[in-house]
């Protein structure tokens, strides 16, 4: 399911939850209607639709009272003994694996943790909530909580942005890993449909109790010289290079930086440079400018840049003052 499908799914979810609404409370001002209430252990989990309460005098000439106005917002509340312990508000909210989740369900690697089941390998129940900011593109966030016997423990968030988050079991420990994509290159030198989005694997870090970049799971061996040459030749065959070589305004194929970033996110920055050298036709100055904009500028805007720099033994410097805005 793509970004547009997620937008439609959010609309379907909103309509379904609206059908579950009880009569509104009597107070005036902003109100919330519980739409999905669940109990896990001693915790009460509520997903609620937010409305703006209309005053009693807001009816028409016939005396009919005005209906409350939907705010197109929802909130999650986690309560215990009537006390609110956590709240998340966004355009749409759902339990992970519900209507907002748009990972490939045909991919057997992708798992949906049970509500109240184990995500990080802990013996206490855990909860994954997905929130969506609305719109055809952006942004999805997964919020994680441990519903402990002694206390509620927030476990941070996983930023999906324009792209889905999926849970997988990729190593021998019981904690699930999270697979998502880096949003740093959305619309970079390309339309959204052609934008490159390198995949990122995150693993649960018990010390920080957060999901972190999983360098060991991301790392891969560099391709041999023959493979690298074959990839470079395939990129050079793109007709846009010919337009450029003939003085036209042809664009650079996104396949170039897609292949380069695949290598870089696996710790093979030197191989990415060699691919660029072989794939770029003639103009060494233009090639150097492109590399600077890709690696020294845009890549450094990634939220994963410090980890990527460490994998490739590069200094984790910020974008330079000469980088395009």
How many Cα atoms are found within 13 Å in the side-chain-facing hemisphere of 185? 24
Residue 215, judged by CB atoms within 10 A of its CB (0-12, 13-18, 19+), counts as: middle
The pTM for the full model equals 0.83
Q: Output the CA torsion sign for 57, 62, 65, 71.
A: negative
How many Cα atoms are found within 13 Å in the side-chain-facing hemisphere of 202? 25
CA distance 236 to 255: 10
Per-residue pLDDT of the chain (325 residues; tens, 9 = 90+): 455 455 545 554 554 544 444 444 444 555 666 678 999 999 999 998 888 877 655 555 555 556 777 778 899 999 999 999 999 999 999 999 998 898 899 999 999 999 999 999 999 999 999 999 987 767 999 999 999 999 999 999 999 999 999 999 999 999 999 999 999 999 999 888 889 999 999 999 999 999 999 999 999 999 999 999 999 999 988 877 665 554 444 578 899 999 999 999 999 999 999 999 999 977 899 999 999 999 999 999 999 999 999 999 999 999 989 998 7
> Would you kindly state where each structural domain of the chain is located, as residue ranges?
3-218, 225-311
Q: Which residue has the tokens 């009537």?
A: 82
Q: Output the CA torsion sign for 140, 307, 311, 302.
A: positive
Asked if 75 and 32 touch (Cβ cutoff 8 Å), the reply is: yes
Contacts of 152 (CB under 8 A, 6+ apart): 43, 78, 80, 85, 86, 145, 146
Tokens of residue 128, six digits: 């994954």
CA distance 305 to 205: 18
CA distance 148 to 152: 5
Torsion angles phi and psi, residue 242, rounded to 5: -65, -40
């Amino acid at each position: 399911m793509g970004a547009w499908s997620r937008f439609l799914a959010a609309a379907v979810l909103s309509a379904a939850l609206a059908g579950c609404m009880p009569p509104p409370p009597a107070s005036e001002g902003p109100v919330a209607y519980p739409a999905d209430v669940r109990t896990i252990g001693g915790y009460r989990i509520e997903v609620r639709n937010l409305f703006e309460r209309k005053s009693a005098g807001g009816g028409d000439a016939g005396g009919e009272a005005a209906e409350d106005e939907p705010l197109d917002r929802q909130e999650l509340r986690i309560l215990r003994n009537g006390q609110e312990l956590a709240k998340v508000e966004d355009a749409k909210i759902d339990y992970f694996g519900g209507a907002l989740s748009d990972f490939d369900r045909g991919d057997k690697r992708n798992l949906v943790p049970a509500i109240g089941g184990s995500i990080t390998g802990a013996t206490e129940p855990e909860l994954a909530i997905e929130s969506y900011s609305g719109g055809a593109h952006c942004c999805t966030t997964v919020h994680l909580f441990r519903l402990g016997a002694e206390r509620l423990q927030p476990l941070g968030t996983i930023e999906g942005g324009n792209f889905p988050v999926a849970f997988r079991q990729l190593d021998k420990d019981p904690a699930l890993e999270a697979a998502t994509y880096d949003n740093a290159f959305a619309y970079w030198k390309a339309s959204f449909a052609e934008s490159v989005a390198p995949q990122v694997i995150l693993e649960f870090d018990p010390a920080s109790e957060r999901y972190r970049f999983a360098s060991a799971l991301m790392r891969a061996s560099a391709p041999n010289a023959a493979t690298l040459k074959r990839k470079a030749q395939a990129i050079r065959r793109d007709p846009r290079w010919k337009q450029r070589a003939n003085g036209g305004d042809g664009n650079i194929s996104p396949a170039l930086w897609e292949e380069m970033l695949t290598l870089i996110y696996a710790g093979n920055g030197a191989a990415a440079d060699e691919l660029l050298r072989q794939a770029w036709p003639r103009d060494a100055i233009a090639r150097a400018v492109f590399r600077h904009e890709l690696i020294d500028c845009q890549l450094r805007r990634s939220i994963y840049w410090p980890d990527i720099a460490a994998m490739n033994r590069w200094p984790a410097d910020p974008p330079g003052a000469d980088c395009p805005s």
